[in-house]
Amino acid sequence: MNAIGRRRWRVAVVGCGGAAFGIHLPALAAHPGWQIVAVADRQVERAEQAAARFGISRVARDTADLLEGIDLLAVLTGVHEPWIEQALDARVHVFTEKPLSLDVDRSRRLRRRAARAGRLLEVGTIRAFDPAVASLLAQLPPAGLRGGWLVKADGCDETVRRPFLPDGAVPYTFAADPPQQAPACLSPAGRRALEIWLWQGYHLLTVIAMAAPHAQPLSCTLAADGDAVHGCVRTETGAVIACSVGPAVPGIQLDQAVLTGPDTTFTASFPPPYGPAGPGTLTTFGHQDDDICVAPDLPAVRMWSAIAQRLTDHALGQAGDGGTGRLAENVERLAAGLAYLTTTTTTTSSGGAVPPMPSEVL
């Protein structure tokens, strides 16, 4: 192996909330292919706590300090685009938590900007690296998909995240973030639906985008209280997949994908992503009822290993596997298409007429 293949990639992390402490920092700190060289947060105490816990030598005080001498910036803040733009301007590779943005057209412009700069722009499609999803898709090719139902009902996200934060740390909230740009033509109901799909339902849409890459949105309904969405998509073979995302009673968490093939139904169930969360489980019903053995690899570790390999391929001038960009764009396309079709339980998104879906989300 040459020097590039043996090197550890230098990463800086901006944003020290639950995703940092509970998912990415532990995975990066333990990974032989990565070295965390700097960390930053708008609350310096949180960055200092992260540095102390994970042995990070530098708490960056400004953007120039954060980007100094790194290969990749991991953006774990609430609003991603300004950090992505600054990193690309500095010719630094970027990883961003999902979603890249709320506006699929803006996301496409950022991806083109990264391509022009000759830098990678990876997105946190962590569900794509879950061995349970890989096992499901290996046994259910797109042509065999007959339908499905996916659900995310979460009443314990904050409770699960809190133990991974340092004692006395203030939990990250999005209240202080600037407003995020969404397509201007969306109604208020459509914008709210888009937020739910991309913030709470992203991992479910990832499974749909992998199982049926050419699926098209059919319908989307936003609950009257604005806290839940229900949508349907049609696959290229005509199968219909339903998806529901919303809150649950405190202490309850259900994150599940049920997909049906010609003679078997596959049920993948996923744990909360924080901490040393293992992969999902996969059960089959029908032609052969069984609990399928799934590789024990942590999805976050698999994801960061793939990104390290992408950096190596890039440094060697090799094409690599294309990364997460195409999949992330497909997820955002599905979310945007559903948002444009949003009605509420009492009225349509435009007061009676469903607006036409712009061609760019098709």
CA distance readout (Å), 23 to 38, 59, 79, 164, 204: 17, 19, 18, 9, 18
Are 195 and 227 members of one domain? Answer: yes
Is residue 150 assigned to a domain?
A: yes
Across 20-34, 143-157, 273-287, least confident range: 273-287
Is the domain of 139 the same as that of 262?
yes
Q: Whole-number mean pLDDT of the chain?
A: 88
Residues 110 and 199 occupy one common structural domain: no
Same domain for 115 and 59: yes
Residue 122 shares a structural domain with residue 226: no
Q: How confident is the model at residue 171 (pLDDT cuts 50, 70, 90)?
A: low
CA distance linking residue 84 with residue 307, whole number of Å: 16
* 271 in the same domain as 152: yes
Q: Please report, for the domain that includes residue 82, its CATH number.
A: 3.40.50.720
- The reply to whether 140 falls in a domain is yes
* Same domain? 156 vs 254: yes
Are 228 and 86 in the same domain?
Answer: no
Are residues 41 and 110 both part of a single domain? yes
Q: Which residue has the higher pLDDT, 265 or 177?
A: 265
- pLDDT tens, residue by residue, 348-360: 443 334 344 444 4
Q: What are the tens digits of pLDDT across the range 196-214?
A: 999 999 999 999 999 999 9
The set of residues, in sequence order, having a beta carbon less than 8 Å from that of 108 and lying 6+ positions away, is 329
Asked if residue 168 belongs to a domain, the reply is yes
Please tell me the total count of domains within the chain. 2
> Structure tokens of 141?
């090719």
For residues 357 and 229, membership in a common domain is answered with: yes
Predicted local confidence at residue 360, as pLDDT: 43
Asked if 279 and 293 count as a contact pair (C-beta separation under 8 A), the reply is: no
Q: Residue 264 belongs to a domain with what CATH number?
A: 3.30.360.10
On whether residue 74 sits in a domain, the answer given is yes
Task: Print the domain residue range for 257.
Answer: 128-172+186-297+331-361
Phi, psi of 331 (to 5 degrees): -65, -45
Query: Is 305 in the same domain as 287?
Result: no
Q: Quick one: which of 140, 189, 165 has its CA closest to 349? A: 189
> 3-class DSSP state for residue 204?
helix
Residue 326, domain member (yes or no): no
73 and 219 housed in the same domain: no
* 305 in a structural domain: yes
Pair 183, 105: CB distance under 8 Å: yes
The predicted-structure confidence for 264-306, as pLDDT tens digits, reads as follows 999 999 988 776 666 888 998 865 545 555 555 789 999 999 9
Mean pLDDT over residues 16-29, rounded?
Answer: 93
Is 158 domain-assigned?
A: yes
**pLDDT at residue 361 tops 50:** no
More confident residue, 64 or 156: 64
Other Cβ atoms less than 10 A from the Cβ of 357: the count is 17
**Considering Cα of 178, then 184, then 188, then 192, what sign does the dihedral take?**
negative
Domain-embedded: residue 178: no
